[in-house]
Amino acid sequence: MASQHPPKRRKLSNEAFPKLRDAEVQKLRELPVWEARQAVLEGICSNQVYVIVGETGSGKTTQIPKFLHQSRFKKDKIICTQPRRVAAIANATRVAKEMGCKLGGLVGYAVRFDDASTPETKIRYVTDGLLLREAVADPLLQQYKVIIVDEAHERTLDTDALLGLLKRMQRVRKDDFHIVLMSATLDAGKYASFFPGAKVGLVQGRQHTVQVMYTKQAQESYLDAALTTVLQIHAREPVGDILAFLTGQEEIDALCNLVRSRGLHTKGADGQEKLHPVAIYAALPAEQQAQVFETAPLGTRKVIFATNIAETALTIPGLRYVVDTGVVKQRSYQSRAGVDLLAVVPISKAQARQRSGRAGREAPGKTFRLYTEAEFEKLEATTTPEILRVNLASAVLQLKALGIPDVRAFDFVDPPPLPALMARLPVDPRYAKILLAAAGSGCAEDAAAIVAMASVEQVFISGRTEQQRQASMQARQRFRRPQGDHITALAVLRAFLATGKGKRGEWCAQNCISGRAMQRCHRIFDQLCGLLQAMKLPLERLGDNQDPEPLQRALTCGLFLHAARRQPDGTYKVIGTGQEVSIHPSSVLSGSKPDCIVFNELVFTRRNYARTMCSIQIPWLTELVPSYFTKHIAR
Ligand code: ADP
Ligand code: MG
């Protein structure tokens, strides 16, 4: 249990930071967490779980572990997690410097393949993934007295998993230990209700006004726009460094090179000779990362090209101008390919605000959003947690390996046959779930056909000439089923299989269907049927004229995370996440727009499109997946 004794107030002398200049020490003292120091320490010591919310740059990451070490926890090990390795390394380096010790001594870090910590290390910065792996070996993390989960608002899969683990640990571990969650946004206060008895503490930041500018028109290329804007800021605006948000290493390196060649000749508004470009992204070697924090050479203006790592994870001093491209590279699951892919997607409003905030830490600043105000209004309010975005197979397996069956949104993983089925069927767990549900209602063979069809690329060939396109449209129309694309796909495969072997090539040509895709689909179908039989599941099918409702229900069981309801304006909203989607024009449902659908995948172009879908009835959701939908439908 938490101790009831607040820590003794301790006088800290400047000798604590021999490696910092006096002016720098003074700057530390001015950080918002210094004012809140006593309250923060008391909050942590008198609560087993304490959530600290404070603006980026207020000093949470670098100061709080130090406060703890310098008060009651001098002899204890304090661990602080970061979602990214760059942040773990940079923060450890900074804190070691502030405390005047060498990295790997009193202060150290450990990330995958790089451990700069020793048994003497008392303040250890690590990635959340690394702590998760430590937790496999030592589920109670006995060696740590204080466990700080930083950047909790990021909601990475690893952070979420770690929190589930800590909650369990809280029940089991009986000694005096403390869990601290730190976050840049208030909605991470949600975590407080996740942990029984947790308290939330606010660190009041000092934020200067930031003037936000939008573009008048949507920009064709955010890279061109970013480069132009950076050069304009340099030419027109008074002193102050620039931070530009891009999406990845290639872009960042390219723009750094361009600025190096073009900015060379642009005189700055305050007489600076040139721009001094610096890059920061996750894969950057540690030595080069340090550059981002160094002041630019005399007579130059620093411009930092960064990924979203500079949003909250790293605080860079000296910034006055932010260039926000409005996009981020994000891991999301591509169901067709069956893999997690990194895709460039729009940021959320919360992220846009975080980015703007970076300009106003030290003085009033300006943010240049390279998108229109109308585009901003259309952004999602907050970023979808990774757990709802990525391949559930990997998430579930990881959590299962850690022995966590119940991390909040993970409740639905429980159905016992699922892991067994997953292990034996070489398909996405969502499809495995569909097969299983269908087997329970006499239509496993049909479900296998649907899964097989979903596993191949476009079956219909659209044709090059107008005449071919017409023929293709008519063919699609022949197979069209009002329940949606899955049931339509089933009709196609059934018709194909009903055609004699020797006639199938001709049949495909007549119906503008790819023969090769159908052959592949046929092989997958046979394989799935074989596996279902081997598992002693009844391989049955619905009659040709039978209502396909059992199949629609089975699809609901597997695709429920992608259930969406029609809005008054004809677009759809994903029930679990609130995400807005439109029906892809290729869907057979694009004209009829049923009240509720489940769909296979999302495609991002200028809009979010749902592709391959089936109409369902709303009451099925609570009936078939009560653990998930009782809470979402009620909202
Ligand atoms: P938070 O975690 O609340 O976002 P930090 O502890 O990361 O805040 O940063 C607090 C302050 O310390 C920043 O505003 C910045 O001025 C300074 N700082 C942090 N890291 C460095 C660094 N590597 N070099 C110089 N200053 C730094
Ligand atoms: Mg921080």
Q: For the segment 562-583, what is each residue's pLDDT rounded down to a tens digit?
A: 999 999 999 999 998 888 999 9
Give strand ranges (E) for 442-506: none
Overall average pLDDT of the 263-289 stretch: 77
User: Does the C-beta of 399 come closer than 6 Å to ligand 1?
Assistant: no
**Of residues 609, 623, 615, the one with CA closest to residue 596:** 615
Gap from CA of 152 to ligand 2 centroid (Å): 10
Residue located nearest, by CA, to atom 24 of ligand 1: 293
Is residue 54 lining ligand 1, measured as CB closer than 6 Å? Answer: yes
**Domains in the chain: boundaries:** 14-203, 210-386, 424-628
63 lines ligand 1 (CB under 6 A): yes
Contact 530 CB / ligand 1 (< 6 Å):
no
Listed as own residue / partner, the contacts of 291-294 with beta carbons closer than 8 Å and 24 or more positions apart are: 292/316, 293/90, 293/94, 293/317
What share of the chain has pLDDT > 70, as a percent? Answer: 85
Atom 23 (ligand 1) nearest CA = 94
**Fold identical between 14-203 and 210-386?**
yes
Q: Is the pLDDT at 187 greater than 80, yes or no? A: no
Residue minimizing CA distance to atom 19 of ligand 1: 315
Kindly give the number of the ligand 1 atom that is closest to the alpha carbon of 27.
16
**Whether the CB of 318 sits within 6 Å of ligand 1:** no
Q: Is 66 in the pocket of ligand 1 (CB under 6 A)?
A: no
Cα–Cα distance between 217 and 375 in angstroms, integer?
10
- Ligand index nearest the alpha carbon of residue 62: 1
Q: Which of 204, 315, 319, 358 to mutate to test the pocket of ligand 1 (most atoms within 8 A of CB)?
A: 315
Neighbours of 533 (CB within 10 A): 13
Q: Which of 62, 91, 97, 148 should be mutated for ligand 1, with most atoms under 8 A from CB? A: 62
Q: What pLDDT sits at residue 627?
A: 79
Query: How far, in Å, is the centroid of ligand 1 from the Cα of 59?
Result: 6
Q: Tell whether ligand 1 has an atom less than 6 A from the beta carbon of residue 61.
A: yes
Cα 314 to averaged position of ligand 2 atoms, centre (Å): 6
Element (H, E) at 278: strand 274-280
Domain 210-386 CATH assignment equals 2.60.210.10: no
Q: Tell me, using a 6 A CB cutoff, whether residue 90 lines ligand 1.
A: yes
> Could you tell me the pLDDT band of residue 125, with boundaries at 50, 70 and 90?
very high
| Cα–ligand 2 centroid distance for 312 (angstroms) | 6
Take atom 25 of ligand 1 and give the residue whose Cα is closest: 293
First-to-last CA distance in the chain? 36
Question: SS3 string of 321-381?
Answer: EEEECCEEEEEEEECCCCEEEEEEEECCHHHHHHHHHHHHCCCCEEEEECCCHHHHHHCCC
- Tell me, in angstroms, the distance from the centre of ligand 2 to residue 111's CA: 17
Check if 195 has its Cβ closer than 6 Å to any atom of ligand 1.
no
Q: How far is it, in rounded angstroms, from Cα 116 to Cα 114?
A: 6
Closest CA to 634 of 577, 581, 575: 575
State yes or no: pLDDT of 39 exceeds 80. Answer: yes
Mean per-residue pLDDT for 290-307? 91
What's the gap in Å between 364 CA and the centre of ligand 1? Answer: 18
Which amino acid is located at 3 in the chain? S
Question: What pLDDT score was predicted for residue 14?
Answer: 39
Task: Give the per-residue pLDDT at 633.
Answer: 60
Q: What's the CA-to-centroid distance between 34 and ligand 2, angstroms?
A: 14
Instruction: Decide whether any atom of ligand 1 lies within 6 Å of the 83 Cβ.
Output: no
Interval between CA 193 and ligand 2 midpoint (Å): 22
State the distance from the centre of ligand 2 to the C-alpha of 363, rounded, in angstroms.
19
Ligand 1 lined by 81 (C-beta under 6 Å): no
Helix (H, G, I), strand (E, B) or coil at 565: strand
Distance, in Å, from the CA atom of 127 to the CA atom of 294, rounded to the nearest integer, reads 24
Where is average pLDDT lowest: 43-52, 77-86, 131-140, 509-518? 131-140
Say which residue the tokens 């208030």 belong to: 186
Instruction: Decide: 149 and 162 in contact? Cβ < 8 Å.
Output: yes
More confident of the two residues 602 and 632: 602
> For a pLDDT cut of 90, what percent of the chain falls above it?
51
Q: Does the pTM exceed 0.90?
A: no
pLDDT for res 382: 84
Ligand 1 proximity of 354 Cβ (cutoff 6 Å) = no
Per-residue model confidence as pLDDT tens digits over 51-92: 999 989 999 999 999 999 999 999 999 999 999 989 999 999
Amino acid identity of residue 238, one-letter, is P
Tell me, what's the pLDDT at 632?
60
**What pLDDT sits at residue 375?**
96
CB 577 within 8 A of CB 383: no
- How far is Cα 623 from Cα 620, in angstroms, rounded to an integer? 5
Beta bridge partners of 4: none
Pick from 207-221, 282-296, 513-527 the range whose average pLDDT is largest.
207-221
Which tens digit of pLDDT belongs to each residue from 456-471? 767 888 777 888 888 8
Contact 57, 315 (CB under 8 A): yes
Least confident of 2-11, 179-188, 406-415: 406-415
Ligand 1 contact, 87 CB (< 6 A):
no
- Closest ligand 1 atom to the C-alpha of 90? 23
Distance 88 CA to ligand 2 centre (A): 10
* 386-400 residue pLDDT tens: 766 665 555 555 555
Whether ligand 1 lies within 6 angstroms of the CB of 556 is answered as: no
CA 156 – ligand 2 centroid, Å: 15
Ligand approaching nearest to the C-alpha of 313: 2
CATH number of 14-203: 3.40.50.300
The chain-wide mean pLDDT, for the chain, equals 85
Q: Name the pLDDT band for 490 (thresholds 50, 70, 90).
A: very high
pLDDT at 162: 84
| Helix residue spans in 100-238 (DSSP H) | 128-137, 157-172, 190-194, 222-236
The tens digit of pLDDT for each residue in 419-467 reads 333 645 556 778 888 998 999 899 999 999 999 898 776 788 877 788 8
Ligand 1 neighbour 293 (Cβ under 6 A): yes
CA–centroid distance, 308 to ligand 2, in Å, is 13
Question: Residue 158: what pLDDT?
Answer: 80
How far apart are the CA of 333 and the centre of ligand 1, in A?
Answer: 34
Ligand 1 site, residue 319, Cβ cutoff 6 A: no
Rounded distance from Cα 362 to ligand 1 centre (Å) = 12
Contact 324, 367 (CB under 8 A): yes
Please report the pLDDT score of residue 423 as a whole number. 47
Mean pLDDT of 195-210: 87
Q: What is the DSSP letter of 580?
A: E
Sequence-distant (6+) residues with CB within 8 A of 413 are 392, 396, 399, 400, 405
Please tell me whether the interface predicted TM-score (ipTM) of this complex is above 0.90.
yes
> Looking at ligand 1, which atom is closest to the CA of residue 54?
3
